[in-house]
Chain A
């Protein structure tokens, strides 16, 4: 097949994959999905956790010369485009936001991202869970140091001193690796994402990235039977409950409600409270295992 036909094929293929499978394999977590994610999270010592979040860079070789400064960041050294993703323990990618210029940091990407749109609109499944006897209603993601202190992120402790903090950091960092593993698997499955991108249009790159993620999720679902469930099933029953949202989709939410939810998400006090409760919870749960 000739070169131009090959490129045409690739572009049509990724468009087709997004059009046909995008809705199903890049969906927002449904009630059943959230239930399963919470169950897995709870078994690993993080009740209320629905994934871990991070960003990945893709080198864009054919970046227009005039845009080079905008797309280059010192630590990468070359023009890149950023992918923000949320992955769960089975390496399924729940959220993908691609196309931010490479010079931004993870906070700026997060501010542009569509990650919390459902929650702000009130369309996300409503969650209730208990940590250390206290009730919480916002599911959270595990994040690394740069992410802001919000109730929807749980971060590690920078220089843990006490044994409780050390144990918590160990578990948080171990569980957060899900997203790094997912990036690794995605890149080794589709080498095009590891090598410099040779297409000129940013839209084509976005399509390729999304199609790769959709195919990645399809392959995970297809090969679920090969994976063995390594979790211990003799654990105590889950304490979290998931309800479908009371707000119907497509309805335009009132501005005050959206602002109210936004303030709740950004609550720094609640973030600290949740972290200290999780430290206690993990200490009680895993204290005896290490001895």
Chain B
């Protein structure tokens, strides 16, 4: 049998056209999705970046509870942290010695991360109040 009877040049061209069409279609769709993402969010990709004023929050925390002249007194500290201040600072210090995580580390832009006191405060708040971690996102 002649193979041309089964699969001619015309058939081949037709199939190629369908494939090209499909390719164009896919490209167009992807472009549309990419445009939506570009318009809706800053930056590229799906990760959202929130610029949190870490330094300011840390300073506020220190002023409120840990400075020599704090805004809230001993009673309020014990009520909110469930323990007295020297014990809390002792724990923070011990944890700093235990792991790198509880030390001040710099990120790629040389900007300091959260301070150990801040991290421990967040952890104690979650234990003491039983709230969700999202409540502390301020």
Query: Are A and B co-members of a single complex?
Result: yes
Binding site for B on A (CB under 8 A): 1-7, 9-10, 12-14, 16-17, 19-21, 189-195, 198, 208, 211-212, 215, 218-219, 222-223
Binding site for A on B (CB under 8 A): 50, 52, 57, 82-84, 86-87, 91, 94-95, 97-99, 101-102, 114, 118-120, 122-124, 126-130, 132-134, 136-137
Q: Judging by beta carbons under 8 Å apart, are B52 and A2 in contact? A: yes
Closest residue of B by beta carbon distance from A15: B99
Q: How far is the CB of B73 from chain A (nearest CB, A)?
A: 16
Chain B residues with CB under 8 Å of A2's CB are 50, 52, 137
Q: Judging by beta carbons under 8 Å apart, are B101 and A12 in contact? A: yes
Q: How far is the CB of B38 from chain A (nearest CB, A)?
A: 24
Contacts known (A20-B94, A222-B87); A190 close to B82, Cβ less than 8 A? yes
Contacts known (A6-B122, A16-B95, A16-B98); A191 close to B128, Cβ less than 8 A? yes
Q: Judging by beta carbons under 8 Å apart, are A12 and B99 in contact? A: yes
Separation of A16 and B101 alpha carbons in the complex (Å): 10
Chain B residues with CB under 8 Å of A212's CB are 127
Find the residue from B84, B91, B102 having the highest chain A CB count within 10 A: B91
Q: How many A-B residue pairs have CB under 8 A?
A: 97
9 closest pairs, A vs B, by CB?
A: A6-B133, A13-B123, A191-B130, A192-B130, A195-B130, A16-B95, A3-B134, A222-B87, A3-B133
- Select which of B94, B119, B130, B133 is within 8 A of A21 by beta carbon: B94
Give the interface SS of chain B, mostly helix, strand, loop or mixed: helix
Separation of A192 and B135 alpha carbons in the complex (Å): 14
Q: Judging by beta carbons under 8 Å apart, are B127 and A208 in contact? A: yes
Q: How far is the CB of B56 from chain A (nearest CB, A)?
A: 13
Separation of A212 and B98 alpha carbons in the complex (Å): 18
Inter-chain pairs besides A1-B118, A223-B84, 13 sampled, C-beta below 8 Å: A1-B52, A1-B114, A1-B136, A6-B134, A9-B122, A10-B126, A10-B127, A16-B94, A16-B95, A19-B98, A190-B127, A192-B128, A212-B127
Q: How far is the CB of A197 from chain B (nearest CB, A)?
A: 9
Q: How far is the CB of B76 from chain A (nearest CB, A)?
A: 16
23 A-B contacts (beta carbon < 8 Å): A1-B52, A1-B114, A2-B137, A3-B134, A9-B114, A10-B133, A12-B123, A16-B101, A20-B95, A20-B98, A21-B91, A190-B128, A190-B130, A192-B126, A192-B127, A192-B130, A212-B127, A215-B83, A215-B91, A218-B91, A219-B82, A219-B83, A222-B84
Q: How far is the CB of B91 from chain A (nearest CB, A)?
A: 7
Separation of A215 and B86 alpha carbons in the complex (Å): 14
- Select which of B84, B94, B126 is within 8 A of A6 by beta carbon: B126
Q: How far is the CB of A238 from chain B (nearest CB, A)?
A: 32
Closest residue of B by beta carbon distance from A198: B132
Separation of A68 and B46 alpha carbons in the complex (Å): 35
Closest residue of A by beta carbon distance from B97: A20
Separation of A211 and B124 alpha carbons in the complex (Å): 11
Q: How far is the CB of B58 from chain A (nearest CB, A)?
A: 10
Chain A residues with CB under 8 Å of B86's CB are 222
Q: Judging by beta carbons under 8 Å apart, are A189 and B128 in contact? A: yes
Q: How far is the CB of B118 from chain A (nearest CB, A)?
A: 7
Chain B residues with CB under 8 Å of A211's CB are 127
Closest residue of B by beta carbon distance from A16: B95
Q: How far is the CB of B101 from chain A (nearest CB, A)?
A: 5
Q: How far is the CB of A136 from chain B (nearest CB, A)?
A: 38
Chain B residues with CB under 8 Å of A13's CB are 95, 119-120, 123-124
Separation of A10 and B86 alpha carbons in the complex (Å): 21
Chain B residues with CB under 8 Å of A194's CB are 130
Q: Judging by beta carbons under 8 Å apart, are A5 and B126 in contact? A: no
Q: How far is the CB of A91 from chain B (nearest CB, A)?
A: 14
Closest residue of B by beta carbon distance from A194: B130
Chain B residues with CB under 8 Å of A7's CB are 133
Closest residue of B by beta carbon distance from A12: B101
Chain B residues with CB under 8 Å of A189's CB are 82, 128
Chain B residues with CB under 8 Å of A16's CB are 94-95, 98-99, 101-102
Q: Judging by beta carbons under 8 Å apart, are B114 and A5 in contact? A: yes
